[in-house]
């Protein structure tokens, strides 16, 4: 195995960063390139609600200081967009037409926020919370004691809702099919979970029972800045509107690569795609489950980190299969506390 191999990792989230760490430990002399769209090094996006608790310095969110990458000779390339992967030539094509050759490629590009098509026309009236920049913009926009309407829910949005309630804000949840994404709950479990959210202080509106979201409008001057109108005519107003409908894998740049894609990249239990030089890890990949006879996603922080570590080990000579590092079921304790692995990221 050549010590001068070039390992390229697309994505600097939990999986990508862990993979780079493991690769450097196993191949001290290899070249490692870590590509990210972000202007910041790897930081904990699950920790972003802390901006409402007074943490406003981006350096407080970094998992590793910038010097970490220099000391370990990991080539961190920020603000870098991948537009194509030419698997035959083993080349990653960047949006400024640069070609980056690789010996092995790990796709750990994660997912981006999903917005239902019927709401896409209202994009200018919606706010994001997927990056430090967006989190700080929301904090500046939201007045003290102000209101946030969360459309959809998902476990990331609900985690933010917990902090908002704790910090004296009003939270309205327009609940729908994605409210507890990526968990799948029974009707009985859903009723119990919604009741728990209400006990936490969240105002729950069952969107489907109100005829769905018919339109979103700017608020009148002097009032809340956003207005959500439901199909039956009911309205709710808020200072901030946050769409929170789960994630969709970021795989667009892989469409011409020739590897198998469904919703995400299809991989074997050892995280290998149909190309022997390309592996995938994290939210971007669907892992074959022989027991369930289907490809499935794993999202929990500990599972994603375990995938990054496994991918790096398999890229450097091992041939192990993925074993979940945490249970991804959702449950209620004592009728008052929701436990989800997506709120466990230590």
Q: What CATH number is attached to the domain comprising 26?
A: 3.50.50.60
Question: 0.95 cut: is pTM over it?
Answer: no
pLDDT of residue 3: 55
Cα–Cα dist 340/158, whole Å? 11
**pLDDT tens digits for range 266-303:** 999 999 999 999 999 999 999 999 989 999 999 888 99
Tokens of 222: 């002097």
> What are the pLDDT digits (tens) for 55-109?
999 999 999 999 999 999 999 999 999 999 999 999 999 998 899 999 999 999 9
Same domain assignment for residues 163 and 226: yes
Last residue of a domain, one of 245, 271, 306: 245
90 and 182 together in one domain: no
* Total domain count, the chain: 2
Predicted confidence at residue 2, as pLDDT, reads 47
> Which DSSP letter does residue 13 get?
S
Please compute Rg for the chain using Cα positions. 21
Query: What average pLDDT does the segment 310-328 reach?
Result: 95
Pair (213, 274) in one structural domain: no
Count CB-CB contacts under 10 A for residue 130. Answer: 15
Q: Predicted confidence band at 332 (pLDDT cuts at 50, 70, 90)?
A: confident
**Cβ atoms 20, 9 nearer than 8 A:** yes
- pLDDT value at position 1? 46
**Residue 237 and residue 137 share a domain:** yes
Average pLDDT for residues 186-208, to the nearest whole number? 94
Mean pLDDT of 239-243: 96
Q: How far is CA 85 from the centre of its chain?
A: 22
Compute the distance between CA of residue 175 and CA of residue 323 in angstroms, rounded to an integer.
33
181 vs 111: CA distance, rounded Å: 14
Percent share of the chain, pLDDT over 70? 98
| pLDDT the model gives residue 200 | 93
Question: Do 151 and 79 reside in the same domain of the chain?
Answer: no
- 326 class by beta-carbon count within 10 Å (0-12 exposed, 13-18 middle, 19+ buried): middle
pLDDT at 334 over 80: no
Specify whether the backbone of 40 is left (phi greater than 0), alpha (psi in -120 to 50) or beta: beta
Closest CA to 314 of 3, 23, 21, 6: 23
Range of the domain at 145: 115-245
């Amino acid at each position: 195995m050549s010590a001068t191999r070039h390992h390229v990792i697309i994505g600097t989230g939990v999986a990508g960063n862990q993979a780079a760490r493991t690769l450097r430990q196993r191949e001290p002399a290899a070249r490692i390139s870590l590509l990210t769209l972000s202007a910041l090094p790897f930081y904990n996006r699950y920790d972003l609600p802390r901006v409402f608790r007074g943490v406003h310095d981006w350096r407080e969110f970094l998992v590793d200081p910038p010097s970490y990458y220099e000391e370990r000779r990991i080539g961190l390339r920020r603000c870098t967009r991948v537009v194509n992967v030419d698997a035959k030539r083993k080349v990653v094509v960047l949006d400024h037409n640069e070609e980056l050759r690789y010996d092995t490629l790990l796709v750990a590009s994660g997912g981006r926020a999903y917005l239902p098509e019927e709401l896409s026309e209202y994009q200018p009236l919606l706010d994001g919370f997927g990056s430090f920049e967006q989190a700080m913009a929301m904090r500046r926009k939201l007045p003290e004691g102000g209101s946030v309407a969360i459309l959809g829910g998902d476990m990331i949005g609900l985690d933010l809702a917990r902090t908002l309630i704790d910090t004296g804000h009003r939270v309205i949840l327009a609940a729908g099919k994605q409210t507890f994404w990526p968990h799948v709950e029974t009707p009985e479990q859903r009723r119990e979970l919604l009741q728990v959210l209400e006990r936490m202080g969240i105002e729950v509106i069952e969107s489907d029972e109100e005829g769905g979201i018919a339109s979103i409008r700017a608020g009148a001057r002097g009032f809340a800045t956003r207005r959500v109108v439901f199909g039956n005519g009911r309205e709710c107003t808020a200072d901030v509107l946050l769409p929170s409908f789960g994630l969709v894998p970021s795989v667009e740049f892989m469409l011409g690569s020739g590897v198998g894609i469904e919703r995400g990249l299809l991989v074997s239990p050892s995280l290998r795609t149909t190309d022997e030089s390309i592996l995938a890890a994290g939210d971007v990949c669907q892992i074959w489950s022989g027991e369930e006879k289907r490809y499935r996603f794993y999202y929990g922080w500990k599972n994603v980190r375990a995938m990054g570590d496994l991918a790096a080990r398999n890229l450097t000579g091992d041939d192990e299969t993925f074993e979940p590092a945490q249970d991804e079921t959702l449950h209620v304790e004592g009728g008052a506390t929701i436990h989800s692995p997506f709120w466990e990221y230590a």
